Amino acid sequence: MTHNAIALSGLRKTYKSGQEALKGIDLAVPAGSIFGLLGPNGAGKSTLINILAGLVLKTSGKVEIWGWDQDSNPRQSRAAIGVMPQELNLDPFFSPHGALEVQAGLYGVPASRRKSDEILAMVGLTDKRDAYARTLSGGMRRRLLLAKALVHSPQVLVLDEPTAGVDIELRQMLWENVRRLNRERGMTIILTTHYLEEAEEMCDEIAIINHGTLVAQDSTSNLLGQLDAKTMIITPAGGEYTLPKADGISAERREDGTIALAYNARQTSADAVLAAVRSADITIQDVRTEQADLQDVFLNLTKDG
């Protein structure tokens, strides 16, 4: 039976300022998935994550983490989730090893079950085990924040903008670890990111929020498939030609010598596009199509007005 790692219903948050950050969110994150939470700046992603992490109190609605209701089973629901926050806030006086031990203590992990050294090795911090946190670089701090989120072996790992401003090496380390935790331990991963290619590549499922409202939740492939705008790119074999003309097709020459034919897949078939090309006496040397990417879907769903 599939169950949900996270289930939210009617989740609302109104800050004291009167700002309605979440306006009634219903969201289910399937257990075992890598789930992307996307939205423009100010959409409410951090508010949602901070509610999951227990850092912000919801105004109303229901939050279940790994089946545990946050109100009636606060301890269990907290134990089921680990959060790697966006801000690099670390106690400057603890070494990485010390910080993990303190965190393990906070979560009541008995000494015999602690895996601080194993976790430090996983995030590549073994040689900084006993260094002061204040001497760690920004990238190392991020590694340590990931390590801290893992000390109590949570079923659900939340990463808030984990790769914002990090270098390629660290990004690869993060994604390798995330994939491994997901694959080998079945850990459910929820991440927010501004890099849509990253979400497209990493996530099985994606939710998009805008102005505190959920505007889409679907598998990544379904979301990508929902846009009907397609472009066929033809490389002509050579010679002079005039651009194909047909209803529902708009053709343009690109600088690289190809012809781009934009059409709506719901109204015009690929066959009709090819027929228009042939009737313009163009010999086709090569043909490919450009799919909509997540950026297109995202902009389509979050455009205002």
Which residues here bind ligand ATP, judged by CB under 6 A? 15, 17, 19, 21, 39, 41-47
Residue 142 Cβ vs ligand ATP, minimum distance, rounded to whole Å: 16
Query: Based on CB atoms, which residue is closest to ligand ATP, 144 or 208?
Result: 208
Residue 298 Cβ vs ligand ATP, minimum distance, rounded to whole Å: 13
189: closest CA among 64, 49, 61, 26? 49
Residue 82 Cβ vs ligand ATP, minimum distance, rounded to whole Å: 19
- Among all residues, whose Cβ is closest to ligand ATP? 46
| Share of the chain residues as helix, strand and coil, in percent rounded to the nearest 5 | 35, 30, 35
> Can you tell me the distance from the alpha carbon of 8 to that of 28, in angstroms, rounded to the nearest whole number?
6
Residue 95 Cβ vs ligand ATP, minimum distance, rounded to whole Å: 30
264 phi and psi, to 5 degrees? -100, 115
Count of other CB atoms within 10 angstroms of residue 92: 10
Query: Based on CB atoms, which residue is closest to ligand ATP, 34 or 49?
Result: 49
E strands in 31-125:
34-38, 60-65, 68-69, 81-84
Tokens 């994550």 -> residue: 49
Residue 40 Ramachandran class (φ > 0 left, ψ -120 to 50 alpha, else beta): beta
Residue 58 Cβ vs ligand ATP, minimum distance, rounded to whole Å: 12
Query: Based on CB atoms, which residue is closest to ligand ATP, 32 or 36?
Result: 36
Residue 13 Cβ vs ligand ATP, minimum distance, rounded to whole Å: 8
Q: H/E element holding 231?
A: strand 229-236
Residue 15 Cβ vs ligand ATP, minimum distance, rounded to whole Å: 3
Query: Based on CB atoms, which residue is closest to ligand ATP, 6 or 277?
Result: 6
Residue 202 Cβ vs ligand ATP, minimum distance, rounded to whole Å: 18
Coil, helix or strand for 149?
helix
> Can you tell me the distance from the alpha carbon of 217 to that of 26, in angstroms, rounded to the nearest whole number?
10
Alpha helices in the chain (DSSP H): 45-52, 74-79, 96-106, 116-122, 138-150, 168-185, 196-202, 220-225, 270-279, 294-302
Query: Based on CB atoms, which residue is closest to ligand ATP, 12 or 129?
Result: 12
Q: Which residues contact 9 (CB under 8 A, 6 or more apart)?
A: 26, 61, 62
Query: Based on CB atoms, which residue is closest to ligand ATP, 36 or 44?
Result: 44
Query: Based on CB atoms, which residue is closest to ligand ATP, 15 or 93?
Result: 15
Coil, helix or strand for 277?
helix
Q: Which residues contact 242 (CB under 8 A, 6 or more apart)?
A: 280
Query: Based on CB atoms, which residue is closest to ligand ATP, 87 or 247?
Result: 87
Residue 54 Cβ vs ligand ATP, minimum distance, rounded to whole Å: 15
**How many residues are present in the chain?**
305
Query: Based on CB atoms, which residue is closest to ligand ATP, 39 or 139?
Result: 39
